[in-house]
Structure formats: C-alpha cells, structure tokens
C-alpha cells in the first residue's frame, strides 16, 4: 500500500508484489513525496471527502466521507451510497482508514459472541464476532414505529476491522466502550478479498 498526499487529499494505492517490484515501489514512494513536497493534508472543509482509496484491480476509487450522513444524529453513520460501495470492497486497508483516530463514526462493541451475516448482500458468508469486538455503525434501524413495540427489536449494519460488513440485532451490541475492546482478525495479505 502506498499513500500519496497531494493538494490536501490523501490517495491510497494498493500495489501487489505481482504488480510492482519492491525497487519500483520504493522509487514511486520517494518520487511522490518529492513531487508533492511531502505536504500534510489540510483540515477538511465541511462536506469534503477524506482519503480516496483506489482499487488497482477494478480501477475504481472510494472517497471516504468525513461527516455523518445526518448532522446531529444520535448515531453518526456514513452516507448510504458510500456504505453500499464500502460493503462490496471487503478491504482491511479501507477499514484502517475508517477506524483511524478522529473519524466521526459511532463505534459499537459486541456484547456477546455472535455469528452474523450482512443482510445488505445477496450472498453473505457468516462471520464470527466476539465479545468486546469494536465495530463502526453503518446503519441503525429502530423497531416498528406503529403498533406493538418490542424492546431491543432494532438492528445495526456494522463494519469490522477486517473490512467486512455484518448485520446484528440491537441487543447484541453496546455503544459504551468496554475496558479492553478487541478487533476482528485481519487476514494476512493474499488470503482475503483478492488482495495480495
């Protein structure tokens, strides 16, 4: 992974061992710093996007937002259109950008061991989530607004440190940070998601 800072934006390039020799990657990184003046990103203005993460295989990029989808909401989530793309990527590198210090997203922590699926995908494999695992809330759904109210009937779509999305029930997560939160195991390069 190579991060390039230019014009106040951070762009992350994924470079595999197959796509670029180590010497070329080092030269590329040094040249990028020299050309860009090794500047640091400026503070984002309201409504601006954060780092752009590029996927070399697909040739596409993902602009990471810096503000909540709904200003002043109790639970700060990324915009829905971004979440749809994010959950297709399944990239631990993107997860590192999402979980970095200073991002506004609401963190939640698993309250119990759970096997979860992502309901926003047609075909989703189950993931094992452990007690205290830190996740980012991508969507919060309350119970029904009319008729009989069932306590704990809401649900969340969450984002894990390994770059996967999962859907959990509201009673499976806590919004209060535990004394020692954990993270999902991050796969070794080449073992997940087409990343080498």
CB atoms within 10 A of CB 195: 20
Task: Give CA–CA dist 151/145, Å, rounded.
Answer: 12
In Å, what is the CA distance from 161 to each residue of 121, 129, 196? Answer: 18, 11, 18
Please give the structure tokens belonging to residue 148: 């009989």
User: Tens of pLDDT along the chain (196 residues)?
Assistant: 444 444 444 454 444 444 445 444 443 443 333 333 333 333 333 344 566 665 545 556 788 999 999 999 999 999 999 999 999 888 888 999 999 999 999 999 999 999 999 998 877 889 999 999 999 999 998 865 555 555 557 999 999 999 999 999 999 999 999 999 999 988 776 655 544 4
Sign of CA dihedral 21, 27, 32, 35: negative
Nearest residue to 110 (alpha-carbon basis) of 177, 185, 186, 165: 177
CB 184 within 8 A of CB 161: yes
pTM: 0.67
DSSP-assigned states of every residue in 4-60: EEETTEEEEE---TTTS-HHHHHHHHHHHHHHHTT--PPPPPTT-EEEEEEETTTTE
> Which contiguous run of DSSP H or E holds residue 96?
helix 92-99
Please give the structure tokens belonging to residue 131: 């007690």
Task: Give CA–CA dist 17/40, Å, rounded.
Answer: 27
At 152 the pLDDT is 57
Which residues does 42 contact at the CB level (< 8 Å), separation at least 6? 8
Q: Please report, for the chain, the start and end positions of each structural domain, with discontinuous segments joined by +.
A: 67-190
């Amino acid at each position: 992974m190579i991060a390039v800072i230019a014009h106040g934006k951070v762009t992350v390039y994924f470079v595999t061992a197959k796509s670029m020799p180590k010497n070329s990657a080092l030269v590329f990184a040094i040249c990028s710093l020299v050309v860009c003046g090794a500047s640091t990103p400026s503070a984002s203005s309201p409504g601006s996007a954060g780092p752009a993460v590029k996927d070399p295989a697909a040739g596409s990029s993902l602009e990471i937002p810096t503000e909540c989808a709904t200003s002043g909401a109790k639970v700060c989530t990324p915009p829905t259109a971004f979440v749809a793309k994010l959950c297709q990527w399944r990239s631990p590198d993107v997860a590192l950008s999402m979980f970095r210090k200073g991002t506004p997203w609401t963190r939640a922590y698993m309250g119990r061991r759970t096997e979860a699926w992502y309901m926003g995908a047609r075909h989703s494999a189950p993931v094992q989530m452990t007690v205290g695992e830190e996740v980012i809330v991508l969507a919060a759904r309350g119970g029904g607004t009319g008729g009989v109210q069932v306590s704990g009937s809401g649900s969340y779509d969450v984002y894990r440190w390994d770059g996967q999305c999962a859907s959990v029930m509201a009673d499976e997560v806590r919004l209060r940070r535990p004394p020692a939160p954990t993270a999902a195991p991050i796969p070794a390069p080449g073992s997940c998601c087409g990343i080498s």
